[in-house]
Amino acid sequence: MKKLSGMRVAVLAAEGFEQAELTRPVRKLQHEGATVTLVSLKPGAVQGMARHTPGRARHVDATLRDAKAADFDALVLPGGFLSPDLLRQNALALDFVRDADTLDLPMAIICHAPWVLVSAGLVEGRRLTSWPGIRDDVSNAGGLWVDEPVVRDGNWVTSRDPHDLAALERAMVELFEERVPELRDREPAPTRKRWPKVFAGVLATAALGLTAHRLAATR
């Protein structure tokens, strides 16, 4: 069985997400057996970016009007210059992230994505990293900014930029894998096979007949 089999992961992204910061984690998650859902602000597709150059568009699987954090077991927030800025201005996106954190869902957060956490009021007292350009935003929101490839703090793992993706992928899988035993526990126990009612009736009748025979023999 793969490490993340049975895990449902939401990837929250909007127009202008950094392409590698979405595609690489998604590929890694799927390789490990997770089911990945791209959640966004509107249906259709969202355009990726490779820094300042347009990249590939990605199909949106669910919108924030339909998806709830409780539907998932983990969350990925890709970066990019535009996507996190659009998400941080959307009330549904902020509620989704707040709910995910309240549920203690493991979260992988990349590059500019901590902007969403800042606007959601979740950064204060947390230790994290990000794209260096938003260091002041994190610090001003009460977060402890660290210049490291990957930083783990509770249910969060954060990284700085696409150069850190290999390290982030390892840390992400390790963090998400900690939730897998809980997923196994929630799976329904296998149902016991029951005899068909007709056959059960036959057995009951035979048992009654045998009892009557024994009683008659003792008289």
More confident residue, 199 or 15: 15
Structure tokens at 133: 């350009």
The parent domain of residue 103 ranges over 8-186
**Residue 190: what pLDDT?**
47
What average pLDDT does this structure show over 105-114?
Answer: 98
Strand spans (E) along the chain = 8-12, 17-18, 35-40, 45-50, 53-59, 62-63, 74-77, 107-110, 127-128, 144-145, 150-153, 156-159
* pTM recorded for the entire structure: 0.83
Is residue 199 domain-resident? no
**Residue 193: what pLDDT?**
42
The catalytic residue positions are 112
- Phi, psi of 186, rounded to the nearest 5 degrees: -80, -15
CATH number of the domain encompassing residue 33:
3.40.50.880
Is residue 137 domain-resident? yes
What average pLDDT does this structure show over 101-111?
Answer: 98
3-state secondary structure 102-113: HCCCCEEEECCC
Is residue 116 domain-resident? yes
pLDDT in tens, 61-89: 999 999 999 999 999 999 999 999 999 99
pLDDT in tens, 171-211: 999 999 999 888 766 655 444 444 344 444 444 444 445 44
Is residue 75 domain-resident? yes
Sorting pLDDT into bands at 50, 70 and 90, what band is 1? Answer: confident
Share of the chain above pLDDT 90, in %: 79
Domains identified in the chain, total number = 1
Structure tokens at 216: 């008659």
Is residue 168 domain-resident? yes
Please name the residue that has the structure tokens 């954090």: 69
Is residue 204 domain-resident? no
Angle at 108 between CA 102 and CA 113, to 5 degrees: 90
Is residue 191 domain-resident? no
What average pLDDT does this structure show over 108-129?
Answer: 98
What average pLDDT does this structure show over 117-125?
Answer: 98
Is residue 91 domain-resident? yes
